[in-house]
Amino acid sequence: MALTVDRLRTSVQYLLPQHGLSRLVGKIASSTTPWIKDTFIQRFAKRYNVDMSEALEPDLSQYACFNDFFTRALKPGARPLCTESDSILCPADGAISQLGPITNDRVFQAKGHDYSLSDLLADNTSAQAYIGGQFATVYLSPRDYHRVHMPLTGKLTRSVYVPGDLFSVNTLTAQTVPNLFARNERLVAHFDTEAGPMVVILVGAMIVASIETVWGGVEAIGSEIRTRDFAAHEQITLNSGDELGRFRLGSTAIILFGPNVMSWEKEFVTSSSTRMGQRLGYVLSKK
């Protein structure tokens, strides 16, 4: 009975104008009109009990728009980075949605659901490097810090924007919408690291106004896959803990590693809370 109710709740998302609604919210979130942005920010902060004491700017009225508030910087030292040399850092505040092995071409989403790694990356060739490897999915809730950081030092080789749906990515939706992360809009960033290839994927969701990266700025919503290659021309290396990108309204980050090169810390299981910079895993084998 409970599952039937859950399916009914999420089925409404199929009927909503996902992209139109997200664009509308995006316009409101970027508004600098004082009564709009102040009302939106104050109600949101109260509704989700946002901790502003750790923000670089704790005064809600000082943010130019809701987007600036939502992607707020933290005070220096608010997220200390684990300094152990073999550490793989958690990329974001939030909670573990799932983590574990990539079996064949399948990534676990929730009980009764998995999805294709090739579909997630929109590239069957790239997927081959991660079959038998490991994945971690981190869900960022509305109250969390919404910048995503590097789990491991890496050289950016390619970024791929993949158009798609904009379903919510909360736990209920993950349990009821098939292929959720492989059907939603996303930005796939490929890196070369000491542990071999690594992918960090920023997954869009309902009312996410946009995804932004430190190398490309705001990724405009589109209808076609867009690939940008960096390996031959631009030399972009991001250190462990450096900011990679941010969500203008919340979503999910997914990390992929190849086989036999790393392991997750045993304390992390489904629903474990995460803080950016803590030790999420460790390198077993350096390339």
CA torsion sign, 55 to 56 to 59 to 64?
negative
Q: Which amino acid is at 170?
A: N
- Across the range 176-205, mean pLDDT stands at 87
Least confident of 74-83, 147-156, 176-185, 269-278: 176-185
29: pLDDT confidence band, cut at 50, 70 and 90? confident
Q: From CA 211, how far away is CA 251, in angstroms rounded?
A: 10
Partners of 227 in the β-ladder: 160
269: pLDDT confidence band, cut at 50, 70 and 90? very high
Tokens 């550490």 — which residue? 87
pLDDT of residue 143: 86
Phi, psi at residue 123, to the nearest 5°? -165, 105
Q: Provide the mean pLDDT of the chain.
A: 85
Is residue 7 scored above 60 in pLDDT?
Answer: no
Copy the structure tokens of residue 260: 């036999």
Residues 209 and 67: beta-carbon distance below 8 Å: yes
Is residue 95 scored above 70 in pLDDT?
Answer: yes
Q: From CA 199, how far away is CA 258, in angstroms rounded?
A: 9
pLDDT of residue 9: 56
Least confident of 109-123, 161-175, 249-263: 161-175
Is residue 90 scored above 50 in pLDDT?
Answer: yes
pLDDT of residue 274: 96
Is residue 1 scored above 70 in pLDDT?
Answer: no
Residues 192 and 157: beta-carbon distance below 8 Å: yes
Residues 220 and 204: beta-carbon distance below 8 Å: no
Q: From CA 23, how far away is CA 9, in angstroms rounded?
A: 23
b/e burial code for range 236-251 (CB count within 10 A of at least 16 → b): eebebbebbbbbbbbb
Q: From CA 57, how far away is CA 60, in angstroms rounded?
A: 8
Tokens 């904009």 — which residue? 166
pLDDT of residue 208: 56
Interval 54-81: pLDDT, tens? 999 999 999 999 889 989 999 999 999 9
247: pLDDT confidence band, cut at 50, 70 and 90? confident
Is residue 168 scored above 80 in pLDDT?
Answer: no
pLDDT of residue 138: 95
235: pLDDT confidence band, cut at 50, 70 and 90? confident
52: pLDDT confidence band, cut at 50, 70 and 90? very high
Is residue 17 scored above 50 in pLDDT?
Answer: no
On the 0-12 / 13-18 / 19+ scale of CB atoms within 10 A, 211 is buried
6: pLDDT confidence band, cut at 50, 70 and 90? low
Question: pLDDT exceeding 70 applies to what percent of the chain?
Answer: 82
Q: From CA 88, how far away is CA 151, in angstroms rounded?
A: 5
Phi, psi at residue 232, to the nearest 5°? -85, -20
Is residue 25 scored above 70 in pLDDT?
Answer: no
Q: From CA 92, how far away is CA 251, in angstroms rounded?
A: 11
User: Which of 160-169, 185-194, 219-228 is modeled with the greatest confidence?
Assistant: 185-194
Q: Which amino acid is at 192?
A: D
| Catalytic residue list | 93, 149, 251
- Could you please report the per-residue DSSP string of 16-36? S-HHHHHHHHHHHHT---HHH
- Across the range 204-217, mean pLDDT stands at 76
Nearest to 127 by CA among 143, 104, 146, 101: 104
